[in-house]
Structure 1
Amino acid sequence: MPKFVIEREIPGAGNLTAEDLKGISQKSCGVLQELGPSVQWVQSFVTENKVYCLYIAPDKEAVLKHAELGGFPANVVSEVTSVIDPVTAE
């Protein structure tokens, strides 16, 4: 199943409280339940003004549907073509 990186522009994301992040996470999980098991949220990275999310989904359209239903921005959705890490160098 393909993986996707989603870049979400959210001004002030780095200042969101733990409660804010919990609410966003709950909303996302609720939408994922509606969509069924074919779309999975792996994890997200919160930066100053953006959130980068890693999803497993059948296609880009499924990722965009999640964003639409959840009211989340999905400014850039990119399919992961390879994964590298320090072990790749060995």
Structure 2
Amino acid sequence: MPKFVIEREMPGAGDLSQEQLRDASQHSCEVLTDMGPQIQWVHSYVTDNKIYCIYNAPDEAAIKQHAQQAGFPANKISRVKAIIDPTTAEV
């Protein structure tokens, strides 16, 4: 299944409390459950003013549908073409 990086512009995201992050996560998961198994949230990175989310989904339309239903921005959606890590450098 294709993997996507979603950039969500959310001023003050880095100042959200653990409770606020938990509530947002629970809401996201509820929407994902309603959408079915074709879309999966892998994990997210919270920075000062953005949240970067990694999702497995059939297409960009599913990502946009989730964002709309959950009420989260999806300012930029990028399909992952490859994944590299330090083992990629090994011969």
Shared fold per TM-score greater than 0.5: yes
1:25 alignment partner, SS class: helix
1:74 alignment partner, SS class: coil
Structure 1 distance, partners of 2:78, 2:46, is 17
Match of 1:38 in 2: 38
After superposition, the CA RMSD in angstroms is 0.3
Match of 1:3 in 2: 3
Match of 1:70 in 2: 70
TM-score by length of structure 1 reads 0.99
Structure 2 distance, partners of 1:59, 1:19, is 31
Match of 2:54 in 1: 54
Gaps of 5+ in 2: none
Corresponding residue pairs, total: 90
Structure 1's consecutive aligned runs of 4 or more residues displaced over 3 angstroms after TM superposition are none
2:84 alignment partner, SS class: coil
Counterpart AA for 2:53: C
| Identity rate, percent | 60
Deviations 1:40-75 (A, max 9, x none): 000000000000000000000000000000000000
**Post-superposition offset of 1:37:** 0.3
TM-score by length of structure 2 reads 0.98
Match of 2:28 in 1: 28
Match of 1:85 in 2: 85
